[in-house]
Chain A
Amino acid sequence: MRPLATGTTKGCLAVGLCLLLQGCPTPYEWRHQDQWDARDQIWLSEESQVKLRAAQSRVFDTTDRLRTLEAVVATMQDLGFMVEVLDEALGIVSGKKFESLERSRFGNDPYYHLYNDKSLLIFTKTYRSWGPFWHRSDLVRFTVTVRKRNESQLVVRASAQFYLRPIEDPVPYQQFFRTLGQALFLQDRLVQ
């Protein structure tokens, strides 16, 4: 029994020390990544850029950009994204969807729906609530670009953001590209 008790005490101490260093954040705050300088988020290190690029990009043996874009839009719709930006000449598709992660937990806040993520203009400076925060936390953004790689190939790059973080795990992208490949009847290939 003794060693266990010491273990628990040690655990308590560790938790207490963490709390002290963190300044007692609430559970909601705790779900956000902590860092020394928030401005570091503006840039990505060259190393992580290279790693992400490999996970997020695939080459397809086709030059039909329009058909590829159609397949991207269809796949995104299947996944429940609202497509908001679509430019066939530039090869950009972008959309968003909401995962009710925070909303369901805290009940309904009218300000959840009033948050305008497209503008700087503030609705009100006097009435403030958690609504816009939950809205941002629940928001999943997804952007796909389709660009010519050479005379016979296109390169498709998909990137997603979830709970104020970029998705860096390669598995979700693998799944997306597999579905996209099926829609195009083409095999997706890693960029060498």
Chain B
Amino acid sequence: MNPRAGWVMSLIAGTLLAQGCAAPAPRQDLLMPTEAQMKLRSFQTRTFDVKNRQLAMRAVITALQDLGFIIERANEPLGLVTAARFAEPNYYDVLGVTVTVRPEGEGRMMIRANAIYNNKPIEDPKPYQNFFATLERSLFITKE
């Protein structure tokens, strides 16, 4: 082959490659939370007056059990509880929830819940409100 033709062809191929196969550049705000995400976080988070993390975790576990969840995993040092339940009456869908308990100042615990319905995050505030209502009750009973 003519060396010049080869050079031109590789140039064309190179241009094509650069245009078609380059990875999309990340958006500047990729790692910046969107407004919707911030709103969601406020639904998912509540702060409670609880002495220690263990007490708060036990209350979280009790609340989840009362709601019919199966406790799957718990990690005391990290303050993490993972639970799931079947979307009864149908037995094909799963609702998963991860709750983290973090100390926030003296005698206060920040509790955050993340719920997933079949691997899709729940963005509706209602389920979180319901969860915290049950948690509040269980914390109240535990404190007595």
**Chains A and B touch (C-beta atoms under 8 A apart):** yes
Give the interface of A toward B (CB within 8 A). 118-123, 125
Interface flags for B81-104 (1: CB within 8 Å of A; 0: not) read 010101000001010100000000
A120 near B70: Cβ-Cβ < 8 Å: yes
Residue in A118, A121, A125 whose CB lies within 8 Å of B116: A121
Q: Interface residues of B, CB < 8 Å — how many?
A: 12
Complex CA distance for A125 and B117, rounded to whole angstroms: 13
Distance between A117 CB and nearest chain B CB, rounded to angstroms: 12
Complex CA distance for A166 and B64, rounded to whole angstroms: 32
Complex CA distance for A120 and B70, rounded to whole angstroms: 10
Complex CA distance for A118 and B119, rounded to whole angstroms: 16
Interface residues of B in 64-86 (CB under 8 A from A): 70, 72-73, 82, 84, 86
- Residues in chain B near residue A120, CB distance under 8 A: 70, 72, 84, 86, 94, 96
A122 and chain B: residue at smallest CB distance? B94
Complex CA distance for A120 and B73, rounded to whole angstroms: 11
B118 near A125: Cβ-Cβ < 8 Å: yes
Complex CA distance for A120 and B93, rounded to whole angstroms: 10
- Residues in chain B near residue A122, CB distance under 8 A: 94, 118-119
A119 near B118: Cβ-Cβ < 8 Å: no
Distance between B80 CB and nearest chain A CB, rounded to angstroms: 14
- Residues in chain B near residue A121, CB distance under 8 A: 84, 94, 96, 116, 119
Distance between B84 CB and nearest chain A CB, rounded to angstroms: 4
A123 and chain B: residue at smallest CB distance? B119
- Residues in chain B near residue A125, CB distance under 8 A: 92, 118
- Residues in chain A near residue B86, CB distance under 8 A: 120
- Residues in chain A near residue B119, CB distance under 8 A: 121-123
- 11 A-B residue contacts at CB 8 Å? A118-B73, A119-B82, A120-B70, A120-B86, A121-B84, A121-B96, A121-B119, A122-B94, A122-B118, A123-B119, A125-B92
Complex CA distance for A78 and B39, rounded to whole angstroms: 53
Distance between A33 CB and nearest chain B CB, rounded to angstroms: 23
Distance between A129 CB and nearest chain B CB, rounded to angstroms: 18
B94 and chain A: residue at smallest CB distance? A120
Complex CA distance for A119 and B70, rounded to whole angstroms: 10
13 additional A-B pairs beyond A119-B72, A120-B96, A121-B119, beta carbons within 8 Å, are A118-B73, A119-B73, A119-B84, A119-B96, A120-B70, A120-B86, A121-B94, A121-B96, A121-B116, A122-B94, A122-B118, A125-B92, A125-B118
Distance between A16 CB and nearest chain B CB, rounded to angstroms: 36
Distance between B90 CB and nearest chain A CB, rounded to angstroms: 13
- Residues in chain B near residue A123, CB distance under 8 A: 119
